[in-house]
Amino acid sequence: MLFGIFFAFWRFMEIVTLIPTLGMLSYFVHIYASNNALTPNYILVLFIVSVLAAVWAIATLFTYHRAKSNALFVSFVDLCFIGAFIAGVYELRAIGGYDCTSISSNDRPFFGISVGSSGFTLSGFSVKTDKTCAMLKACFAFGIMNCIFFAITSLLALFVGRGHSKEKDIYVRESHYSRSGHRRSGSHRSHRSSHSGTRRHAYV
pLDDT in tens, 79-116: 999 999 999 999 999 998 888 887 766 555 544 444 55
**Which pLDDT belongs to residue 166?**
47
Contacts of 102-110 with C-beta under 8 Å, sequence gap 24+, read 102/127, 102/128, 102/129, 103/127, 103/128, 104/128
Strands 125-129, 119-122: pairing kind: antiparallel
More confident residue, 138 or 4: 138
Would you say residue 169 has pLDDT above 90?
no
pTM of the predicted model as reported, rounded to 2 decimal places: 0.70
What is the percentage of the chain residues whose pLDDT exceeds 70?
Answer: 64
pLDDT of residue 56: 96
Average pLDDT value over all residues in the chain? 77
Q: What is the pLDDT of residues 123-166, one digit of tens each?
A: 556 667 888 999 999 999 999 999 999 999 999 988 886 655 44
Quote the pLDDT of residue 201.
Answer: 44
Look at residue 111 in the predicted model and tell me its pLDDT. Answer: 44
Does the pLDDT at position 202 exceed 60?
Answer: no
Pairwise pLDDT comparison (201 vs 92), residue with the higher score: 92
The predicted pLDDT at position 96 comes to 85
Report which of 140, 141, 150, 160 is spatially closest to residue 53, judged by C-alpha positions.
Answer: 150
**What separation in angstroms does the CA of 67 have from each of 60, 146, 170, 175?**
6, 20, 20, 24
pLDDT of residue 97: 85
- Position 14 scores a pLDDT of 96
Q: Quickly state the pLDDT bin for 2 (edges 50, 70, 90).
A: confident
Answer with the residue of higher pLDDT: 6 or 169: 6
Q: How far apart are CA 17 and CA 29, in angstroms?
A: 19
